[in-house]
Structure 1
Amino acid sequence: MGDETQETRQKPPRATRLTLLCRGATASNRLSRLASDEPLLEREWERAERLAPLLPACDAVFCAPEASARETAALFGLHPAIAVPLRDVDYGRWNGLALEDIAAQGPADLQRWLSDPAAAPHGGESFAAARTRCISWLDDQHAVGGHLLAITHAIVLKLVLAHVLDAPLQAIWRTDVEPFGALTLTSDGRRWALRFFGSPLAFA
């Protein structure tokens, strides 16, 4: 009896699979502006219909608090728990601006932001700070078990991918994530490993 109890206690944690799904497109995507909390484009309803059959069955669903993430969940008929750590980056006074507009206003500030992940010349949140809160949430999911789905933003997928691959944060500038793109990770209870990165719509 004692041996069985000890064996049970030493049983490895249940494997966890986590799929991070980029929310659908907004006007900011179309106009190449830094993100703002705005609704999805109308065309995303049709794209969501194509993607819905490809979404795996999940044991739990989360989403970022912004309207675009919540609307994406609604397109798939999901009722997620809000995961505040997966929110979009706060771009401060640059929120809603295109990079060309930012360059015209303050080229030195833009260059510092592009080259230093710890910099936040816009008065908002740095990429380094955003990574910290995303990874803290990610680490909390190690031993949850089952398949989890989290609907969030492209930058979150980029930050998480760089972390899992142990890449420098500057790698986010060499990573493209399109709306409805997906990043799937697996955990053995100790570390996350990359399973899939790309667009499920490519197979629709």
Structure 2
Amino acid sequence: MTSRVTLISPAVSRSLREARFDDGCPLDETGAARARSAGDTLRPPDRALFSPTVRCEETASALGLDAAPVPELAGLRVGRWQGRTLEEVSADEPDAIAVWMTDPASAPHGGESVRELCDRVTAWLETAAHAAGRTVAVVEPEIVRAVGVRVLGAPESAFWRIDVPPLTATTVSGRSGRWNLTVGQPLGRLEP
């Protein structure tokens, strides 16, 4: 059975603009307006999901999706860094940031490593492979990165080299173990 999973990155929030590890900040008005506008271009999926964060839930709603939260699609858990900016953490813990950005197995913040995130997302993707039809999930950028790394068989060190702009779609299609990847689609140009 062939499956299609489209991952949509959330709209802009103040936290994203500040490079802040998610602090539960809602979408800003510009981000919400862009998501509402993009929602008019989406075909209704067979199922709609979202990462259990405020900005993903609000983006899904603004897109007009009747979506459900999925714990396996939660963003990277960053422990004590939660709510802080990358600049603040870099100033206070430069060695920890350097290790975190270069060693996928490390979690100096006391949260989850990139490797653990990739494993979690891979397990979810294997489950999604058994769902017929189209799945649309509004997810944090790190979920898109993890899917990209695993679908392409890239080393986990490539995780931080994948940019995921707001309100873009990444689609994986095929079946478990044999996925094709389409990245960076503007929402108005999604394939059927």
Q: TM-score, normalised by structure 1?
A: 0.86
Q: Structure 1 residue 201: deviation in Å?
A: 5.1
1:133-152 deviation per Cα after TM superposition (whole angstroms, max 9, x unaligned): 11111100112111110111
Residue segments in structure 1 that go unaligned for 5+ positions in a row: 1-12
Q: Distance in 2 between matches of 1:190 and 1:162?
A: 13
1:162 aligns with 2:149: yes
Is 1:31 paired with 2:35? Answer: no
Aligned to 2:69: 82
Over the aligned positions, Cα root-mean-square deviation in angstroms equals 1.8
CA distance in 2, matches of 1:201, 1:143: 25
CA contact (8 A) 2:126 2:176 kept: no
Q: Which position in structure 2 is the counterpart of 1:136? A: 123
The code of the aligned residue for 1:173 comes to: W
- Percent identity between the two aligned chains: 34
Give 1:119 deviation, angstroms.
Answer: 0.5
Q: Which has the larger radius of gyration?
A: 1
Matching residue of 1:200: 186
Counterpart code for 2:184: G
Listed as ranges, the matches of 1:1-204 within 5 Å are 13=1, 15-194=2-181, 196-200=182-186
The size of the alignment, in residue pairs, is 190
Q: Which amino acid aligns with 1:198?
A: G
Moved more, 66-75 or 180-189: 180-189
- What is the CA–CA distance in structure 2 between the aligned matches of 1:80 and 1:39, rounded to whole Å? 17
Assess, with a 3 A threshold, how the Cα gap between structure 1 residues 141 and 202 changes in structure 2: closer, same or farther: closer
Could you list the runs of 5+ residues in structure 2 that have no partner in the other structure?
none
Whether the aligned pair in 1 keeps the contact of 2:27 and 2:55 (CA below 8 Å) is: yes
8 Å CA contact 2:3, 2:131 repeated in 1: yes
Give TM-score scaled by structure 2 length.
0.92
